[in-house]
Amino acid sequence: MIKKDRLVENFLDMVKISSPSKNERAMGDYLLKILKELGLEVREDNAGEVNGGNCGNIIGILRAPGKKRLLFSAHMDTVVPCEKVVPVIENDIIKSDGTSILGGDDKGGIAAIIEMLRVIKENNLDHPEIVVVFSMGEEIGLLGSKSFDINSYGVDFGFILDSSGKPGKIITKAPSAARGKITIIGKPAHAGISPENGINALTVAAHAITKIKLGRIDAETTSNIGVVKGGQATNIVMPSIELDYEARSLSNEKLNTLINETFDIFQKVCNEFGAILENNVKIEYPGFSLEDCEEIVKIVKTACEKVGIKSETASSGGGSDTNIYNSKGVKSVNLAVGMTKVHTLEEYIEIKDLVDLSKILVEIVKG
């Protein structure tokens, strides 16, 4: 039932549409048109307005009164560079020409959802009530899903299409994440005339960094300082420094312990040097954990079995809209799309994976 050429053509059309975070308008208009043509009830919420973007979440509903209501979701935004994507097909693999990302993250997920809807309509398949959400601002903090009022739609289960790996991989566990800035305020002084009168913020940060835990803490927990900003000139004792920090863990207890330990160390070192510590690190999104015996997991595994695709459950080190929907009380899983080397110029996706994912979605709705 899956029409491979149509699926690929749709995917190619979408990756050519530039849609960086908070600038998804062109992509949103494209999807509004398709969903309307397919006969769904279509609307756009105010997530763009709330988050400073030019497009809200695009929502479509395919009615089936009295039946279970399933959510299928993928995000519209991509990382940069995505201004002029030129897709290339070689040996049944789609990639960019090397000057940009491809955008399979997450337009591969969107393409599979659209193909699923087309198969339902043209084959007049019996189906549950379907809510489709194409979210904005996922790449910069899951903004669209945080703003989406999922509880007003009465969704029973959510299937989010936003994981790397081969179709059949089911993400049932993902970490909580904390993120923000740690700022150390020292004291400026002339570096050549009176450095002893200053407090070098970099020195303070360096002493603290040697004491905190960074990198892989254990199998469930990571910690990282990814961006450092500070200084004015070489002849000025650095007056302040700003560290972009994040920590993740599948265990909320471990995450809270790590964050508290990190802040305590920074505060102690700042006190020793007479510097001031400011931090706005906070929980950005909660984690989730589903057991293999859950009904939603069984639904996906059964669908995979029907189309001859091996399924497996796995945990992820990254966050997605799945985290947010689970935190709002809707049991959701993140399904692998097949996208590979995402967020790089070497990103690619196999056509077979797009087809296999679409097959899985059709079987999920057929039940």
Residue 135 and residue 94 in contact, taking contact as beta carbons nearer than 8 Å: no
Other CB atoms within 10 A of residue 273 CB = 18
List, as own/partner pairs, every contact residues 250-257 make where C-beta atoms lie below 8 angstroms and the sequence separation is at least 24, other chains included.
250/173, 250/174, 250/175, 250/176, 250/220, 250/221, 250/287, 250/289, 250/315, 251/220, 251/221, 252/176, 252/286, 252/287, 254/217, 254/218, 254/220, 254/221, 255/175, 255/176, 255/178, 255/221, 255/283
- Beta 215-218 vs 221-230: how paired, if at all? antiparallel
How far is CA 280 from each of CA 155, 156, 260, 277, rounded to the nearest angstrom? Answer: 34, 35, 13, 10
Give the rounded percent of residues in the chain with a pLDDT score beyond 70. 100
Predicted pLDDT of residue 39: 97
Question: Would you say residue 127 has pLDDT above 90?
Answer: yes
Q: What is the DSSP string of 207-267?
A: HHHTTS--EEEETTEEEEEEEEEE-S-TTB---EEEEEEEEEES-HHHHHHHHHHHHHHHH
Domain boundaries for CATH 3.40.630.10 within the chain? 4-174+288-366
For residues 213-225, average pLDDT: 97
d(Cα 310, Cα 77) in Å, to the nearest integer? Answer: 29
**pTM, full prediction:** 0.92
Domain boundaries for CATH 3.30.70.360 within the chain? 176-285
How far is CA 81 from each of CA 13, 75, 103, 273, 347, rounded to the nearest angstrom? Answer: 17, 17, 10, 42, 12
Q: How many CA atoms lie within 13 A of 295 on its CB side?
A: 8
Among residues 92, 128, 145, 100, which one has the least CA distance to residue 322?
A: 145
Integer Rg of the chain from CA: 23
Active-site entry in 24, 45, 77, 350: 77
Active-site entry in 24, 105, 106, 138: 138
Residue 142: CB partners within 8 Å, gap ≥ 6?
284, 285, 319, 320, 321, 323, 324
Angle at CA 56, nearest 5°, toward 54 and 153?
A: 175
Residue 100 and residue 345 in contact, taking contact as beta carbons nearer than 8 Å: yes
pLDDT tier, 12 (very low <50, low <70, confident <90, very high otherwise):
very high
Token reading at 107: 């337009």
Can 218 be counted among the known catalytic residues?
A: no
Predicted pLDDT of residue 112: 98
Question: Would you say residue 367 has pLDDT above 90?
Answer: no
Amino acid, single-letter form, for residue 171: I
pLDDT tier, 37 (very low <50, low <70, confident <90, very high otherwise):
very high
Beta-bridge mates of residue 298: none
Predicted pLDDT of residue 238: 98
The chain-wide mean pLDDT, for the chain, equals 97
Can 77 be counted among the known catalytic residues?
A: yes
For residues 286-293, average pLDDT: 96
- Beta 276-279 vs 41-44: how paired, if at all? unpaired
Q: What is the DSSP string of 51-115?
A: HT-S---EEEEE--TTS-EEEEEEE--BPSS-SS--EEEETTEEEE-SSS---HHHHHHHHHHHH
Predicted pLDDT of residue 245: 98
**pLDDT tens profile 103-119:** 999 999 999 999 999 99
CATH architecture, domain defined by 4-174+288-366: 3-Layer(aba) Sandwich (3.40)
Handedness of CA 304, 310, 314, 319 (dihedral sign): negative
CATH architecture, domain defined by 176-285: 2-Layer Sandwich (3.30)
Give the H or E element holding residue 41: strand 41-44
Query: What are the two backbone dihedrals, phi and then psi, of residue 83, each rounded to the nearest 5 degrees?
Result: -70, -45
Among residues 210, 196, 153, which one has the least CA distance to residue 330?
A: 153
DSSP conformational letter for 39:
T
Residue 26 and residue 77 in contact, taking contact as beta carbons nearer than 8 Å: no
For residues 188-216, average pLDDT: 98
Residue 68 and residue 159 in contact, taking contact as beta carbons nearer than 8 Å: no
